[in-house]
Amino acid sequence: MNNKSKKPAQSAETVIEIENLHVAFGDNEVLKGVDLSLQRGENLVVLGRSGTGKSVLIKVIVGLLKPDSGRVVVLGQDVVDSNTTELDQLRLKVGFSFQNSALYDSMTVRENLEFPLVRNVRNLSRAEIDRAVEEALDDVGLKQAINQMPSELSGGQRKRIGIARTLMLKPEIMLYDEPTAGLDPITCTDINNLINDVQERRGASSIIITHDLTCAKEVGDRVAMLFDGQFQRQGTFDEVFATDDKRVQQFYHYNFTE
Amino acid sequence: MIPPSPSTPRPFITARIDKMLIALYEVARFVGRFFREVLLPPYEGREVIRQCYEVGVRSLPLISLTGFITGIVFTNQSRPSLAQFGATSWLPSLVSIALVRAIGPLVTALIAAGRVGSNIGAELSSMRVTEQIDAMEVSATKPFKFLVSTRVLATTFMIPVLTLYAISVGLLGAFLNVNSNEATSFRSFITEVFGTITFLDVFSSLAKSIVFGFTIGMVGCYQGYNSSKGTEGVGKAANAAVVTSMFLVFIEELFSLQIVNAIRSF
Ligand SMILES: Nc1ncnc2c1ncn2[C@@H]1O[C@H](COP(=O)(O)OP(=O)(O)OP(=O)(O)O)[C@@H](O)[C@H]1O
Ligand SMILES: [Mg+2]
């Protein structure tokens, strides 16, 4: 298994900056002082056990959850202090692909993909919309599903449609919540290629949450590991796993030995 | 350990009242948000029409049946009392007043609460549970406008229309009953009915239905949009939507009775 070979040119521009982020639900302290930054054009993989607050972290980034304290700056805009209009402006540039796909189940695949486009970009011609939908479906290899309902799709197909829907607005930043969970190895490879493709062709910066170390290795320029509410280890894939820390080693061995 | 003092229930009561006040504040904010979002462009014309159609189609069969049967039964049950005074010729005016002022709006609202209210509650809460509303939120597609404003507008507009329809079907049932028993002609039935109903009757009945429609849409949307996560949230939201809106409809009915009586005696 090769590490990600081709590293795209990275400028020094920071697109996401998080400082000392705290999030608690009642007594359940989930994030306890998270610091994180994402550079333009970079793929950052976030690893961590179930329930450590990975999904919570990216929900804070798009303003779905309000943190108890801390600073979150996305594309130069403070998310915590933004009003709804400012937040909506920002959200057009940040794509969020949900862990459970979150497809609109009363709409066909085509309508799902059209939805963010027609509601944000007025005065598009029918042909332009169709072209955008077909392009996005082509990216995830599901052209044939265009007229199906979400309930008729498999879990993996739903996941891919969810990613396609997120790509419709051509975001500068992509947040993938477990894009390869529950997919077969071949589809996983397809998704990994798609994530790299989005990075290379569109110059997008991405945070990829995953349990899947193969995916982490193939897409991640940098890996950050979340333990006990903080990022304990950051660096390239090899740097992060070059340690005797038991928790890190367990993660590695589960994925790569036996 | 401190022995339980007689005043122990007090914090319980204040906690309850606190909770109630917070809930009331939340509801007020939700309603306020509806008016803000409904007045500001862009407008959701197409989606409103689609929702109107949904509301109509969903309740039409049941309202037809219920309105018609109520018309027949009410006429039939009122006959003996009037017959004691030899006044069965008053049946059309009696029935029309009852249908227009009370039965029509009430029956329509209750059926819509059961059919439409529960549906809105279940639909929105399942969208909440499966993060579909969050997905709309993060793609800047304004879910409140798209989901809530449209549904509330649709029920506010459609319940009065359905009420007029229920009244007409009820009157048809009444006519068939009167026609077969007293051999009243259609023409004299209609003359009788329109001689009795006043403008105030129709107007107050429609005004009332607008309030009912608004209530049903608002309660369903509030319960669904703010439902708790998890599958049991869906059932709870649907149930609460029906129970709360039926309760409120009766309260509003009482209020409107007072108001209309005050206007009449004016
Ligand atoms: N809306 C919420 N209300 C209350 N608690 C929440 C909420 N969202 C998340 N939590 C709690 O926060 C913790 C972290 O949840 P999160 O979904 O971020 O985990 P995760 O790292 O994404 O796990 P997984 O890999 O299983 O997806 C959990 O303990 C969860 O119970
Ligand atoms: Mg998660």
SS (H, E, C) chain A: CCCCCCCCCCCCCEEEEEEEEEEEECCEEEEEEEEEEEECCCEEEEEECCCCCHHHHHHHHCCCCCCCEEEEEECCEECCCCCHHHHHHHHCCEEEECCCCCCCCCCCHHHHHHHHHHHHCCCCCHHHHHHHHHHHHHHCCCHHHCCCCHHHCCHHHHHHHHHHHHHCCCCCEEEEECCCCCCCHHHHHHHHHHHHHHHHHHCCEEEEECCCHHHHHHHCCEEEEEECCEEEEEECHHHHHCCCCHHHHHHHHHHHCC
Which pLDDT tens digit goes with each residue over B82-131?
888 888 888 999 999 999 999 999 999 999 999 999 999 999 999 999 99
A120 touches chain B (CB under 8 A): yes
CA angle at B245 for the pair B137 and B56, rounded to the nearest 5°: 75
Domain residue extents for chain B: 41-265
Minimal C-alpha gap between B137 and chain A (Å): 8
Minimum Cα–Cα distance from A115: chain B residue: B141
Protein residue with least CA distance to atom 31, ligand 1:
A51
Question: What percentage of residues in chain B have a pLDDT greater than 70?
Answer: 95
Q: What is the mean pLDDT of residues B34-54?
A: 91
Determine, yes or no, domain membership for A61: yes
Confidence (pLDDT) at B4: 47
Whichever domain contains A214, its CATH number is: 3.40.50.300
Angstrom distance (rounded) from CA A139 to CA A142: 8
Determine, yes or no, domain membership for A208: yes
Confidence (pLDDT) at B8: 47
Determine, yes or no, domain membership for A166: no
Quickly state the pLDDT bin for B11 (edges 50, 70, 90): low
Q: pTM value? A: 0.89
Quickly state the pLDDT bin for B10 (edges 50, 70, 90): low
CB contact (8 A) between residue A102 and residue B131:
yes
CB contact (8 A) between residue A119 and residue B135:
no
Residues of A in contact with B137 (CB under 8 A): 64, 91
Determine, yes or no, domain membership for A129: no
Confidence (pLDDT) at B97: 93
Residues of B in contact with A120 (CB under 8 A): 139-141
Closest to B240 measured CA to CA, from B261, B250, B225, B258: B225
Residue B40 has pLDDT above 90, yes or no: no
The domain in which residue A220 lies consists of 13-93+173-180+204-258
Which pLDDT tens digit goes with each residue over B175-200?
999 999 888 889 999 999 999 999 99
Determine, yes or no, domain membership for A243: yes
Minimal C-alpha gap between A57 and chain B (Å): 14
Q: What is the mean pLDDT of residues B60-75?
A: 95
Per-residue pLDDT of chain A (258 residues; tens, 9 = 90+): 445 655 555 567 899 999 999 999 989 999 999 999 999 999 999 998 888 999 999 999 999 999 999 999 999 999 999 998 999 999 999 999 999 999 999 999 999 999 999 999 888 899 999 999 999 999 888 899 999 999 999 888 999 999 999 999 999 999 999 998 878 888 888 889 999 999 998 889 999 999 888 888 889 999 999 988 888 888 888 887 777 777 777 777 776 664
CB contact (8 A) between residue B132 and residue A91:
no
Q: Which ligand is nearest to the CA of A48?
A: 1
Q: Which of A61, A65, A90, A98 to mutate to test the interface with B (most CBs of B within 10 A)?
A: A98
Residue B224 has pLDDT above 90, yes or no: yes
Pocket of ligand 1 (CB under 6 A): A 25, 28, 30, 48, 50-56, 99
Confidence (pLDDT) at B7: 46
Residue B212 has pLDDT above 80, yes or no: yes
Confidence (pLDDT) at A148: 95
Q: Which ligand is nearest to the CA of A28?
A: 1
What domain count does chain A have? 1
Q: How far away, in angstroms, is A219 Cα from ligand 2 center?
A: 19
Quick one: CA torsion of B249, B251, B254, B259, rounded to 10 degrees?
A: -90
The first and second tokens of residue B237, run together, are 């939201």
Confidence (pLDDT) at A11: 60
Confidence (pLDDT) at B33: 93
Minimal C-alpha gap between B182 and chain A (Å): 52
Angstrom distance (rounded) from CA B120 to CA B249: 17
CB contact (8 A) between residue B140 and residue A91:
yes
What is the number of residues in chain B? 266
Confidence (pLDDT) at A187: 85
B138 → closest Cβ in A62, A100, A105 = A62
The minimum-distance atom of ligand 1 relative to the CA of A99 is 27
Confidence (pLDDT) at A228: 87
B60 contacts: CB under 8 Å, gap ≥ 6? B162, B165
